[in-house]
Chains A and B, each alone.
Chain A
Amino acid sequence: MSETITVNGVSQPLPDDVRVSLLDFLRQHLGLTGTKKGCDHGQCGACTVLVDGFRINSCLTLAAMHADQEVTTIEGLGTPEDPSALQRAFVEHDAFQCGYCTPGQICSATALLEEIRSEWPSDASDDLAAPTLTDEEIRERMSGNLCRCGAYANILAAIRQVAEEDA
């Protein structure tokens, strides 16, 4: 297949085997192992990446379905030398223990900030037209990212800090 996909700004040929999930493509074909495989069934959020700016579970989609689209992974959000605001806040707030869920948490939260800017409602919004930023809102919006270490309190604190700086 001569089709391509853009990952963190670099154009890449798509795999020949159409069965390859976007997640396996990122990890095994491109060596971008920041994106994690937890459940491989859309339940844990460890594989969250951004596709054309929207967060999705990369385990439940085929790389081939994303020809000509732009994927951003945790590696594309920042580097140890130049972390994104959320990456820095996760370190400051100790928002992880083992770190396995962290790339997915940060990709997810990156999109969450944009969704809040766009005033998208969530299940926790009292007013569908004008959601407000409460802890309950952040929890609900992050419910697709599980953390087996239970670092939720610090994850919430990190996201809240960046969201407030943003507002």
Chain B
Amino acid sequence: MRPFDYIRATDPTDAAERTSAPGAMAIAGGTNLIDLMKLQVETPDTLVDVGRLDMGSIEEAGDGLRIGALVTNTATAVHPKVRADYPVLARAILAGATQQLRNKATTAGNLCQRTRCTYFTNIDQPCNKRAPGSGCGAMGGVARLHAILGTSDQCIATYPGDMAVAMAALDAHVHIQGGRGGDRQVPVREFHRLPGETPWQDNVLESGEIITAVTLPLPVKGKQIYRKVRERSSYAFALVSIAAIVAMDGGRIARADLAFGGLAHKPWHDPRLADLLVGEAPSPALFEKAADVLLDEADARGGSEFKIPLARRTLTAVLTEATETRT
């Protein structure tokens, strides 16, 4: 590991100021950043430890639930209110990593975790995300974990996390402090970016911006499901995952908030799906149509062609379960 200075931030303003210095990075649980520092994928000059800041509680706000940036994944998943009203979030978190990692992983760190593309994590390989302009090793390489939606000529990496997929389905908001723009709120659906021409930018955070919390809207009626398909039944990243909140009313679909993991550089949310599904009576034909819409521009440039039929089948399975449709 390269040498670095280590400082503890005293409050979010201090953290924002200190991380705006060139080469400075925030560290929370450290489970992603230290991993990448050992590999010299990340080489910060200064680590600004935000771990002791007062952002570690879950509070009921009038308009929903506020989860502090430092709340551990475990604390979120076991919170009685999350288990009762936002089970899709508890399920998504519990489907990720291990108890040891979830005990350390934080809300903000999890949102900002970097891709698991093995060309990104190997500094001997070309990678436009890690070393802009060096090329993309994954295109034409071994790339089973890679994206089929929203890719660019520069990068086909996926955002690997589970928690944010559920948060995208729930339409949660990320609260950000510091930076030139002052305090702001960004929907989770817009927090992560597509790779485009700047694949090194994973999300909309600018230098010196610190995440302080994520807020969930008031609970909604309906069935909540998180289905994660992976190469073994536990402790693996998603090939495809779906967070679904689906409500029925008089035999018709009244709500269909869906978000997808493993398919793109961000938790994927396609508003055309709710437009198509809401107001309709559930049927296998309708679910196939939804899959057609979701995948109409799907394109696999690595070895991830298998994800296209896998996403289709997973979507129809989730919609079948959520609407209790007989097949």
Where the two chains meet, the residues of A that have a C-beta atom closer than 8 Å to any C-beta of B are 18-19, 21, 40-42, 45, 48, 54-57, 60-62, 64-65, 108, 111-112, 115, 118, 120-123, 125, 128-129, 139-141, 143-144
Q: Are A121 and B104 also in contact (CB < 8 A) when A65-B51, A129-B83 are?
A: no
Q: Say which residue of B3, B6, B87, B235 sits within 8 Å of A62 (CB atoms).
A: B6
> In the complex the two chains form, what is the Cα distance from A62 to B47 in whole Å?
11
What's the Cα separation between A18 and B27 when bound, in Å? 13
Select which of B74, B87, B104, B234 is within 8 A of A57 by beta carbon: B104
Interface size on B (CB < 8 Å)?
A: 34
Task: Judge whether B103 is part of the interface by a CB distance below 8 angstroms.
Answer: yes
Determine how close the nearest CB of chain B comes to the CB of A78; give it in whole angstroms: 20
**Do A60 and B234 touch (CB < 8 A)?**
no
A62 near B30: Cβ-Cβ < 8 Å: yes
Interface residues of B (CB under 8 A from A): 1, 3-6, 27, 29-31, 34-35, 38, 47, 49, 51, 74, 77-78, 83-84, 87, 90-91, 94-95, 97-101, 103-104, 234-235
Tell whether, in the assembled complex, residue B94 and residue A144 are in contact, meaning their CB atoms are under 8 Å apart: no
Would A60 and B104 be within 8 Å (CB), given that A123-B234, A129-B83 are in contact? Answer: yes
Q: Which residues of B contact A61 (CB under 8 A)?
A: 29-31, 34, 104
> Given contacts A55-B103, A60-B34, are A45 and B98 in contact (CB under 8 A)?
yes
Tell which of B1, B91, B100, B104 touches A19, judged by Cβ atoms closer than 8 Å. B1
What's the Cα separation between A56 and B234 when bound, in Å?
A: 18
Chain B residue at smallest Cβ distance from A125: B94
Other than the given A60-B35, A121-B90, A128-B87, 17 more pairs (CB < 8 A) read A40-B38, A41-B35, A55-B99, A57-B104, A60-B34, A61-B30, A65-B49, A118-B78, A121-B77, A121-B78, A123-B94, A123-B95, A123-B234, A128-B83, A143-B234, A143-B235, A144-B101
* Residues of chain A lying within 8 A (CB to CB) of residue B4: 18-19
Closest residue on chain A to residue B2 by CB atoms: A19
The answer to whether A42 and B91 have CB atoms under 8 Å apart is: no
Distance to closest chain B CB from A56 (angstroms) = 5
Contact status B99-A115, CB under 8 Å:
yes
Closest chain-B Cβ to A21's Cβ sits at a distance in Å of 7
State whether A42 touches B99 (Cβ < 8 A).
no
> Measured between C-beta atoms, what is the minimum distance from A111 to chain B in Å?
7
Chain B residue with Cβ nearest A146: B235
Question: Which residues on B sit within 8 Å (CB–CB) of A40?
Answer: 38
> Which residue from chain A places its CB closest to the CB of B102 in the assembled complex?
A144
- Asked whether A111 lies within 8 Å of B99 as measured between CB atoms, the reply is yes
In the complex, A140 Cα to B31 Cα: how many Å? 20
Tell me if A129 and B84 are in contact (CB < 8 A). yes
Interface residue from A21, A48, A120 paired with B78 (Cβ < 8 Å): A120
Determine the chain B residues whose CB is within 8 A of the CB of A21 once the complex forms: 34
A-B contact pairs, 11 of them (CB 8 A): A18-B4, A18-B6, A41-B38, A42-B35, A45-B98, A54-B74, A120-B78, A121-B83, A123-B234, A139-B234, A143-B235
Contact of B6 among A41, A48, A64 (CB under 8 A): A64
Bound together, the chains give a CA A64 to CA B5 distance in angstroms of 11
- Most A C-beta atoms less than 10 A away, residue of B4, B31, B87: B31
Find chain A residues with CB under 8 A from B98 CB: 45, 143-144
Q: Is A128 a contact of B6 with CB atoms below 8 Å?
A: no
Question: Least Cβ distance of B225 to chain A in Å?
Answer: 12
Tell which of A19, A111, A129, A141 touches B3, judged by Cβ atoms closer than 8 Å: A19
CB pair A140 B234 closer than 8 Å: yes
Residues of the B chain whose Cβ atoms lie less than 8 Å from the Cβ of A19: 1, 3-4
Alpha-carbon distance between A64 and B84 when the two chains are bound, in angstroms = 37
